[in-house]
Amino acid sequence: MAISAGDKVPSTTLMEMTAEGPGPVNSDELFNGKKVVLFAVPGAFTPLCSGQHLPGFIDNADAILAKGVDTIVCLSVNDAFVMGAWGEAQGAGDKVRMVADGNGEFTAAMGLEMDGSGFGLGTRSQRYAMIVDNGVISQLNVEEGRNFEASKAETILAAL
């Protein structure tokens, strides 16, 4: 069963590329005491994710942050090396944190897994975006099928 608005974000360890290599990111530290926008994608370097989803959040980062958001996070069931390289290739810089859910633990705890085996991707995350206030989900927008409307940056910006 998928998590919903009003629920606390699951407590797991994610990974992020640092200057020293992959480093742990505790989800409690990421969300508690902060307002965070997190958007999840099925895969780094995939067409919609690279062409529209991540670029939309990079382009709208200043406007999103101006609404009182502390951090914008991009999450995918990929490893920290891939997420770091993708962020660098897309120019995410300090606008969007590129966080890896390599083992899919956060995605499973959210109840938002997707079977991408038909595309050779295995188990991945569904496409979604959420607003989290002090560790509690205030808004969760999960895409239906292959749609791309509910989780795009402009939709989240309008909801803030």
Catalytic residues: 49
**Which residues, in sequence order, are CB contacts of 119 under 8 Å at separation 6+?**
none
Task: State how far the Cα of 107 lies from the Cα of 89, in Å rounded to an integer.
Answer: 24
Residue 89: CB atoms within 10 A of its CB come to 12
**Position of tokens 């919609």?**
48
Residue 85: CB atoms within 10 A of its CB come to 16
Task: State how far the Cα of 114 lies from the Cα of 92, in Å rounded to an integer.
Answer: 25
Q: What angle do CA 24, 26, 30 make, to 5 degrees?
A: 115
Residues 141 and 155: beta-carbon distance below 8 Å:
yes
Task: State how far the Cα of 38 lies from the Cα of 97, in Å rounded to an integer.
Answer: 9
The amino acid at residue 151 is S
